[in-house]
Amino acid sequence: MAEPLLEIQDLHVTLDGFRALDGVSLKIYPRTARVIIGPNGAGKSTLLDTVIGRTRATRGRVVFRGQDVTRMPEHRIVRAGICRKFQTPGVLEQMTVDDNLAIAVRRNKRWWAHFRTGLDRAECARVDEVLGEIGMTAQRYRLAAELAHGEKQWLEIGMVLASDAELIMLDEPTSGMTPAETDRTAALMRRLAAHRTVVVIDHDMAFVEKLAAPITVLHMGRVLKHGTIGDLRDDPDVIAIYLGSARRSHAAG
Amino acid sequence: MRRSWVLSALPSVVVFIALLFAPLYLGPYNLMLSGRFLSLGILAMGIVLVWGYAGVLPLGQGVFFGLGGYALAMHLKLAALPAGELPDFMQWNGVEALPAWWKPFASPELALAAVVVVPGLVALALAWLVFRRRMTSVYIALITQALALAFATLLISRQGTTGGFNGLTDFQTLFGAPLGDERTRLWLHVATVGLAALAYFLARTLAATQAGRLVRAVRDGENRVRFLGYSPAPYKILVFVIAGVFAGLGGALHTLHAGVITPEAVGVVPSIYMVVWVAIGGRESLPGALVGTVLVNLAKDALSSAWPNAWPYLMGAVYIGVVRAMPRGLAGVVESAAAWLRRPRAAPAEPAVADLPADTEATSHG
């Protein structure tokens, strides 16, 4: 089997005395998609936070492309090729959609490389392409603050895409989206997984089902199960901790 | 894009040219005032970069103003002396020999270099410490404020080598030319307008680059920028250093126009006033900061001699009023008015784009 792109080894994280991650190990292979599910407090967001350097591990390692990134500064981890979308849309509200993508798309992110007014030709082309992919060409010159919640989510997905990271991690990309928008997002994710590596956290089982990707279930900071949606749907442990409540909340939403 | 950028610079070019010809329509006293206020305006534009664009409130710009001002004033004191003599205040304080750190300022070139290099380096050291440690704006405001207090206290306590509370004054010549001379005044005016224009266009150009956009992006979403692969600290350090250099330059020019620099001009209170001028003019607007600085100081010149005790209260009241009623200052009022005037006529032709400025205001808190 190929080398894993991302290898998480026995990761422990303690947040204010709370064991958010309690020995998580996970291997993500290149050009695959992986969905991480689990009830609130299972450690899903903490796992992504630790990979990206926002939260620091108390024990264990994160290895990306054979390189230990556990103690790297955040921006260096991103430059190594990992980009993340946050749960609440982290777009730059006071800027246009175009400017948001322009910041994400720059290849050279060292500070002295930005004393020109525009982007180079390849970067401009990439911004156009991403605008097409997220279907926001018409909103290009609007302020991000004026966008609907779902559009902000897409814009942030677009920013992550524009960064051309090899590993894309998305934290609840469909929260606040209508069912039609969720379908489009799922289709985009499936296209992405053909040439990128994608890790998605989500609660929405309809969305997870459409992604058709292997699933890892987290529970109380540990990996509970791996499997497909078919395996997990009938698994009594998973039903007990998660699917039951998710079905209810999905039905309510 | 580029063409509209040049076009939009046109009004400011006209204003600077009009200022250049000010000696034709301003008397000597008003010319001196315009020189002083433009010098302060250079400093104010630095505050726009740090506070308006980078979102970090600097409460100690007086320090950099003082470093530039004292660097030049030390040279002016030494230049006025016959060889081997000490400046007057050193003799009064019984200082026997010129301190070693005064000696380089005998050279006009070194003194001029020090006007920008010393504030720049101090700003760099401070910015390096605070921004790499990810300190938040509140702590930086407190630290810079404390620095202003320490700097003024140091100047006052070292009377023998700094002139103490009275500062440095009684300058005679500038690079060999007598300071009181009309020709010297004229050249000083031209240099001040030129440097103000240079500072303005430099700041404006920086703001228009991708780096300028990143400075504002860091202000609005530091983590988003960091997690797109940028290190936010260099952008904050950069604008802080530029603001320090602007303040030093303003301090040196102001010293020349006013003929004096004292600890009273560099401490906590003046540092706060500097921020107030910018708040009134508009903290995100370079022209706004220039206009705000000139207006407030004109008002101070006119009013504070009549009612010296009322001025701080008036200033405080105006500041509170501005913060409550027009958070983007005079520049914000002008922008809203312009948008309102354009709105009815432009609306049918370009529906989506013409509405933008007004909508920005409405949604910026949401």
pLDDT exceeds cutoff 50 at A252: no
Region B270-289 average pLDDT: 95
B7, with CB counted inside 10 A (0-12, 13-18, 19+), is: exposed
**Which segments of A16-48 are extended strands (E)?**
18-28, 33-37
Q: Is residue B332 part of a domain?
A: no
Q: Which range (A44-58, A85-99, B152-166) has the least confidence?
A: A85-99
Q: Is B360 on the interface with A (CB under 8 A)?
A: yes
* Of the candidates B187, B280, B249, B276, the residue with the CA atom closest to the CA atom of residue B42: B249
d(CA B135, CA B138): 8
Burial A144-181 (b: 16+ CB within 10 A, else e): bbbbeebbbbbbbbbbbbbbebbbbbbbbbbbbbeeeb
ipTM of this predicted complex? Answer: 0.88
Residues B275 and B358 in one domain: no
- In a mutational test of the A interface, the residue from B201, B204, B230 whose CB has the highest number of chain A CBs within 10 Å is B230
The answer to whether B259 and B65 have CB atoms below 8 angstroms apart is no
d(CA A246, CA A224): 16
Any bridge partners for residue A19, and if so which? A14
pLDDT exceeds cutoff 70 at B353: no
Q: What are phi and psi of A24, to 5 degrees?
A: -90, 130
Q: B residues 212-271 near A, CB within 8 Å?
A: 213-214, 216-217, 220-221, 223-231, 234-235, 238
Residues B224 and B97 in one domain: yes
Region B122-144 average pLDDT: 94
Region B67-74 average pLDDT: 97
**Which segments of chain A are extended strands (E)?**
6-15, 18-28, 33-37, 59-64, 67-68, 82-85, 167-171, 197-201, 215-219, 222-227
Residue B345 domain boundaries? 337-366
Please tell me the predicted confidence (pLDDT) of residue A206.
Answer: 83
Non-local (6+) Cβ contacts of B262 within 8 A are: B163, B165, B166, B167, B168, B169
**What is the residue type of B41?**
G
Pairwise CB contact (< 8 Å): B228 & A73:
no
Q: Which helix (H) or strand (E) holds B169?
A: strand B168-169
pLDDT exceeds cutoff 90 at A174: no
Closest chain A residue by Cα to residue B214: A103
What percentage of chain A reaches a pLDDT higher than 70? 95
pLDDT exceeds cutoff 90 at A96: yes
Q: Is A93 on the interface with B (CB under 8 A)?
A: yes
Q: Is A83 on the interface with B (CB under 8 A)?
A: yes
Considering only the beta carbons, identify the residue of B209, B227, B364 that sits closest to A78. Answer: B227
Residues B257 and B351 in one domain: no
d(CA B366, CA B361): 10
CA distances to A27, B31, B217 from B2, rounded to whole Å, are 48, 35, 21
Q: Which residues on A lie below 8 Å from B210 (Cβ)?
A: 102-103, 106, 114-119
Non-local (6+) Cβ contacts of B285 within 8 A are: B48, B52, B328, B329, B331, B332
Q: What are phi and psi of A193, to 5 degrees?
A: -65, -15
The answer to whether A95 and B216 have CB atoms below 8 angstroms apart is yes
Residues B358 and B294 in one domain: no
Q: How many domains does chain B have?
A: 2
The answer to whether A229 and A209 have CB atoms below 8 angstroms apart is yes
The CATH number given to whatever domain includes residue B319 is 1.10.3470
Residue that is written with structure tokens 């530039």 in the block: B68
Q: What are phi and psi of B327, to 5 degrees?
A: -60, -20
Pairwise CB contact (< 8 Å): B1 & A114:
no
Q: How is A44-85 classified by DSSP, letter by letter?
A: HHHHHHHHHTSS--SEEEEEETTEE-TTS-HHHHHHHTEEEE
Non-local (6+) Cβ contacts of B143 within 8 A are: B60, B126, B130, B135
* Greater model confidence, A79 or A249: A79
pLDDT exceeds cutoff 90 at A107: no
Residues B363 and B290 in one domain: no
d(CA B47, CA B58): 7
The answer to whether B13 and B167 have CB atoms below 8 angstroms apart is no
Task: Please state the pTM of the whole predicted model.
Answer: 0.89
Residues B188 and B306 in one domain: yes
The answer to whether B161 and B222 have CB atoms below 8 angstroms apart is no
Rounded to the nearest integer, the mean pLDDT of chain B is 89
Residues B87 and B204 in one domain: yes
Q: Which range (A40-44, B3-7, B323-327, B353-357) has the least confidence?
A: B353-357
Q: A residues 184-213 near B, CB within 8 Å?
A: none
Considering only the beta carbons, identify the residue of A94, A118, A163 that sits closest to B229. Answer: A163
Please tell me the predicted confidence (pLDDT) of residue B257.
Answer: 94
Residues B123 and B181 in one domain: yes
Q: Is residue B292 part of a domain?
A: yes
Q: How confident is residue A242, by pLDDT bands cut at 50, 70 and 90?
A: low
Q: Is residue B197 part of a domain?
A: yes
Interface A-B: count of C-beta contacts within 8 A = 101
Please tell me the predicted confidence (pLDDT) of residue A251.
Answer: 44
Residues B155 and B273 in one domain: yes
Q: Is B353 on the interface with A (CB under 8 A)?
A: yes
Q: Which helix (H) or strand (E) holds A139?
A: none
Residues B321 and B355 in one domain: no
d(CA B254, CA A190): 64
Considering only the beta carbons, identify the residue of B216, B226, B227 that sits closest to A94. Answer: B216
Tokens of A9: 């080894």
Residue that is written with structure tokens 């002295």 in the block: A112
Q: Compute the nearest-CA separation of B220 from chain A (Å).
A: 6
Residue B72's Cβ-side half-sphere holds a number of Cα atoms within 13 Å equal to 29
Dmax over CA atoms of chain A, in Å, equals: 58
Residues B283 and B344 in one domain: no
Q: Is residue B196 part of a domain?
A: yes
Enumerate domains of chain A plus CATH numbers.
6-252 (3.40.50.300)
Q: Which residues on B lie below 8 Å from A140 (Cβ)?
A: none
Residues B256 and B343 in one domain: no
Q: How confident is residue A245, by pLDDT bands cut at 50, 70 and 90?
A: low
Please tell me the predicted confidence (pLDDT) of residue B3.
Answer: 61
A221: helix, strand or coil: coil
Please tell me the predicted confidence (pLDDT) of residue B344.
Answer: 67
Q: Compute the nearest-CA separation of B357 from chain A (Å).
A: 10
Burial B293-321 (b: 16+ CB within 10 A, else e): bbebbeebeeebeeeeeeeeeebeeebee
Pairwise CB contact (< 8 Å): B226 & A52:
no
pLDDT exceeds cutoff 90 at B85: no
Q: How is B20-78 classified by DSSP, letter by letter?
A: HTHHHHS-HHHHHHHHHHHHHHHHHHHHIIIIIIT----S-HHHHHHHHHHHHHHHHHH
- In a mutational test of the A interface, the residue from B227, B284, B353, B361 whose CB has the highest number of chain A CBs within 10 Å is B227
What percentage of chain B reaches a pLDDT higher than 90? 69
Considering only the beta carbons, identify the residue of B217, B224, B356 that sits closest to A143. Answer: B356
Please tell me the predicted confidence (pLDDT) of residue A40.
Answer: 84
Region B171-189 average pLDDT: 88
Tell me: the pLDDT tens digits for B202-231? 999 999 999 999 999 999 999 999 999 999
Tell me: the pLDDT tens digits for A178-226? 888 899 889 888 888 888 999 999 878 888 888 889 999 999 899 998 9
Tokens of B188: 């000083």
Q: How confident is residue A1, by pLDDT bands cut at 50, 70 and 90?
A: low
Residue B332's Cβ-side half-sphere holds a number of Cα atoms within 13 Å equal to 18
Tell me: the pLDDT tens digits for B37-64? 999 999 999 999 999 999 999 999 999 9
d(CA B272, CA B114): 25
- In a mutational test of the B interface, the residue from A45, A48, A75, A160 whose CB has the highest number of chain B CBs within 10 Å is A75
d(CA B64, CA B239): 14
